[in-house]
Structure 1
Amino acid sequence: MSSETTGRSTWKSRTGFILAAIGSAVGLGNIWRFSYLAYENGGGAFLIPYIFALLTAGIPLLILEFGIGHERIGSAPLAFRKIGRRWEWLGWWPLLFTMFGIVLYYSVVIAWCVDFIFYSFNLSWGDDPDKFFFESFLNLSSSPAEIGIIQTPILISLFIVWLVSWGIIVRGVSRGVELANRVFMPLLLLLTLVLVFWSVNLEGAMVGISAYLKPDFTKLGDPNVWISAYGQIFFTLSLGFGIMIAYASYMPYNSNMTGSAVITALANCGFSLLSGFGVFAILGFMSVTQSKPLEEVVTQSIGLAFVAYPKAISLIGDAGPLFGVLFFLSLTVAGVSSAISIVEAFVSGAKDKFGINRKKLATLLCVLGFAGSIIFTTNGGLFWLDIVDHFINNYGLVMAGLLECIVVGWFFRLDIIRKHLNKVSKMQLGVWWNWVIKLCLPLFLTVILLNQLIRELSVAYGGYSWASLIGIGWSWIGITFLVSFIFAVQPWKTDNHLAKGRGEEL
């Protein structure tokens, strides 16, 4: 380990780093969100705005986050502190609303997947998966205000999820996070390939795949389709989380950072495309075997995984239970790989500033995470999950990404990062990249933010009361924003913030 990285963990190899970055990016949304978005927004034609968004926003911003972490040699709070004392809060804010927001409800969804692995053995959902999921499993209440009681099966699986996460994170970067992703990512790819191959050979599979890919070029004239493409690219690459900054900071000097960003982005998007074939092959199978139009069996998000898929698993026959186990196991693996990256990003930031022992810090965060997740295991938990997820993803992450581009692009010498990346990478960035970060990305993210805000003000999200939206959603954003300043003004217990960036040492 070189002197410049002394005191910081490092990846054992570039492959391990890329697998961990892909593990963070590839999550539950790749499996159920992308395919539905493509279907709703022009099928094969949606690939045009999707790829355009990948090239003009996703890859440039991922390169920026890799560059910030690698050149500033630090987690998000440390990196922004080195950019300027007044910007440290911007490093803390994403870590706070992801660690004490996203990962809290995300771990509960993973717990659902764990439960459904076992339910798959005997098809416990019976003839009505919809009723089973919402009434028997979740025992859903009537509103967010009616919290109700904790659902014990979910709580038990939630404990297992956090215990696994703790066991990985407490072992450190190379022996924990990297090693886990060396197992998880090949396993996830294998499971996905098996499921896709199995699905496309089912009766009626081509009906679904045709609907998934059939291009409707008239959709390209709708601005909302382009906004959806940019939104999906932004969310699916874990941008604005602070994760990629932390992960890049663990890389040694001579690392091909730009090439790694491109590989990570392409692998993530390729996985989304691949998963879509399996998802719509199953929906086509359901359409044909039940003699229903495809639009009647297509559903989005949670309903796709926990209602539509169980219906399909029941229709497959004797092999249904095995298919179910493989499907929910793949969701679990995808979820855990993303969840540990969120906790690791916070561990990195807290360790950089306060010098807390990793084992103690990881234990404390996992205990707090488990406790904070419990609200989402109650009868009203799904409503809370929906509201918190909506506000953090549509406002928190977009605002964090927007501010990141503005701060680094306009209040810092962006050329320091670009020249550093060019020095260590085979793929060279031109001055065009500076202007993508300074102008194009802020414009794209502002449009996404304003579009969502205008829509929100005209019609309350999800039909919820304004009291629920303000009391849960906006409060979650506001509280984490204020706490980020509290963290930022705390004195540094280490000397990490005094070190220069690698680009300034050239």
Structure 2
Amino acid sequence: MTATPEQTEAARRGAFSSRRVFILAAIGSAVGLGNIWRFPYVAYENGGGAFILPYLIALLTAGIPFLFLDYALGHRNRGSAPLSFARLRKGTEFLGWWQVGICAIIAIYYAAIIGWSMRYMFFSVDKAWGSDPEKFFGGEFLSAADPSAGVTFDFVPGILVPLLVVWVVVIAIMALGVQKGVGATSVIFIPVLLLAFVALVVQALLLPGATEGLNALFTPNWSALKDTAVWAAAFGQIFFSLSIGFGIMITYSSYVGRRTDMTGSGLVVGFANSGFELLCGIGVFSALGFMAQASGVQVGDVASGGIGLAFIAFPAIISQAPAGGLIGVLFFASLILAGLTSLVSILEVVISAVRDKFEMSRVGATAVVALPIAVVSVLLFSTTSALTVLDIMDNFINKFGILLVAVVSMLVIAWALRALPALARHLNRYGSIPVRGWWVALISVVTPAVLALILVKELRDTAAETYGGYPDWMVAVFGWGVAAAVVVVGVLVTLVRWRPDTPLTVPEDETDPTALEVAR
């Protein structure tokens, strides 16, 4: 029996075996470190219980609509981010490579945090950080150099070894392919992650003072809703947590069958991600409530987000809590699982793009992409300057990478190409949630306007003073320089010709008379 063109392409690129695997992979990408350590603190700082309202509005008006846009691009055009944009219009290919560059940069430092979590999972057993987790983290563990020392190449064995382990595991997963590697990882890790975090939440809720922590998180401050910064925080949180706008969901949606319900899948992924974030809030603030009671202070005095929560606040909780060792193992195991599924999705964006652009096998593309990224990751983040470089790169690539390319992409697709009606028709062919004029209005006007306002505010605040008080040259190189470099490299890669057998038109589907409407 002769294979159809779609079956031939799926065999070459790889594909998820079912919609269920695709959904789990998409959830695995969305559920990452940011859910666990960013959402609880952002919610607390922006009105507590009242924050849920702008958060849900942001999910429905920006997060899920943009998720639909990513799905439509990848599913309709059957390619990685660059190929999907090229098939939309040849001149927009650079947007896809811009997203690929962002993913490459994120992968470099994301692996380091997973490696740190791996060590801390074992530290939890005997509370190796002692009585001062903050001093231990920056001192004995990271041997962090003063930022004024710049980039050092003083390697720290305690972080070099776990970082190498992370890269060996991730490269092996990527080499196995879309279904056997990416898909199978998500099918196994996501249920385990959920079980581990539910167990953590149960343990945290049993701690003395947990109620005070939950009251601090969920007691609504309704006056906060009058503050535009709160609404900006809600939209920013949704955007960062859903893994939208930088190629991941475009790539993943290109691996599922033509008749897959993409809009229904998008709702499942969106609400699963937000549900997990709320679960994280309950677990984290229950533990913070215990710490506040044990220390005789207010919850606000111990609440923190990001690295401070994971590697300073939580170790302090673990040291004092009943069954603290168990809580620690569950917490850091959750960080590892969430981090690995997200890192796999980030690398898949780069590998898929390289395979589409050049004639390469899966293993060959994995080696060409992952090995150089791993080498740079090890050289930068197993040294005494790791913490400084990570903080700068993460801040700038998120704010002036992900948000900026998202705004530019929406404006180009909506206004320059006028492609939204054709993409909406594609989503409606098999989607269980009809996409109408409301979606076009949100993607073309509302979401880019809100994100542009956030960008302007961040740009103004960042330009007002040197970020973090770090040396100007480090901010220029690892901040502004990295954010600009991914754009420049994206433009340069578009000058390389596609491999000869890659059609730059939308793959034909005889049942869809609109399939070629936008392609040029």
Is 2:383 aligned against 1:340? no
**Per-residue deviation, 1:167:** 1.3
**Per-residue deviation, 1:471:** 2.0
Distance in 2, Cα, partners of 1:444 & 1:2: 43
Is 2:481 aligned against 1:482? no
- Please give the TM-score of this superposition, normalised by the length of structure 2: 0.95
Query: Which residue of the other structure, out of 11, 14, 19, is the alignment partner of 2:19?
Result: 14
Query: Which residue of the other structure, out of 418, 427, 434, is the alignment partner of 1:421?
Result: 427
Query: 1:51-450, aligned counterparts within 5 Å?
Result: 51-99=56-104, 101-143=105-147, 145-148=149-152, 149-317=154-322, 319-374=323-378, 375-412=380-417, 413-450=419-456
Any idea what SS the aligned residue of 2:43 has?
A: helix
Distance in 2, Cα, partners of 1:70 & 1:31: 30
Moved more, 489-498 or 325-334: 489-498
Alpha-carbon contact 1:120-1:321 (below 8 Å) kept: yes
Alpha-carbon contact 1:144-1:380 (below 8 Å) kept: no
Is 2:467 aligned against 1:457? no
Moved more, 366-375 or 338-347: 366-375
RMSD: 1.3
Distance in 2, Cα, partners of 1:118 & 1:202: 22
Q: 1:117 is aligned with what amino acid?
A: M
Alpha-carbon contact 1:166-1:362 (below 8 Å) kept: yes
Moved more, 263-272 or 370-379: 370-379
Query: Which residue of the other structure, out of 472, 490, 499, is the alignment partner of 1:493?
Result: 499
Alpha-carbon contact 1:422-1:429 (below 8 Å) kept: yes
Show CA shifts across 1:354-402 (max 9, x none): 0211101112322112111121221111111011001010110011101
Alpha-carbon contact 2:50-2:221 (below 8 Å) kept: yes
Distance in 2, Cα, partners of 1:390 & 1:53: 21
- Equivalent residues, number: 504
Show CA shifts across 1:321-379 (max 9, x none): 22211111110000000000011111111111102111011123221121111212211
**Per-residue deviation, 1:467:** 2.5
**Per-residue deviation, 1:494:** 4.2
Any idea what SS the aligned residue of 1:497 has?
A: coil
**Per-residue deviation, 1:465:** 3.4
Any idea what SS the aligned residue of 2:27 has?
A: helix
1:3 match: 5
1:28 match: 33
Alpha-carbon contact 2:88-2:506 (below 8 Å) kept: no
Distance in 1, Cα, partners of 2:184 & 2:365: 20
Alpha-carbon contact 2:66-2:245 (below 8 Å) kept: no
Alpha-carbon contact 1:38-1:46 (below 8 Å) kept: yes
Distance in 2, Cα, partners of 1:254 & 1:84: 24
Gaps of 5+ in 1: none
- Please give the TM-score of this superposition, normalised by the length of structure 1: 0.97
Alpha-carbon contact 1:144-1:384 (below 8 Å) kept: no
Any idea what SS the aligned residue of 1:300 has?
A: coil
**Per-residue deviation, 1:144:** 5.7
Alpha-carbon contact 1:196-1:277 (below 8 Å) kept: yes
Alpha-carbon contact 1:355-1:494 (below 8 Å) kept: no
Show CA shifts across 1:155-205 (max 9, x none): 110111111111111111111111110001000100010000110111110
Show structure 1 runs of 4+ deviating over 6 A.
Answer: none
Alpha-carbon contact 2:29-2:243 (below 8 Å) kept: yes
Alpha-carbon contact 1:5-1:252 (below 8 Å) kept: no
Alpha-carbon contact 2:40-2:277 (below 8 Å) kept: yes
**Per-residue deviation, 1:292:** 1.9
Gaps of 5+ in 2: none
**Per-residue deviation, 1:496:** 2.5
Q: 1:39 is aligned with what amino acid?
A: Y
Any idea what SS the aligned residue of 2:17 has?
A: coil
**Per-residue deviation, 1:145:** 4.2
Distance in 2, Cα, partners of 1:386 & 1:476: 13
Distance in 2, Cα, partners of 1:175 & 1:122: 36
Show CA shifts across 1:404-446 (max 9, x none): 1112112322211100110111111111211211111221111
Any idea what SS the aligned residue of 2:65 has?
A: helix
When residues 143 and 15 of structure 1 are mapped into structure 2, their CA distance, relative to the original with a 3 A threshold, is: same
Alpha-carbon contact 1:354-1:494 (below 8 Å) kept: no
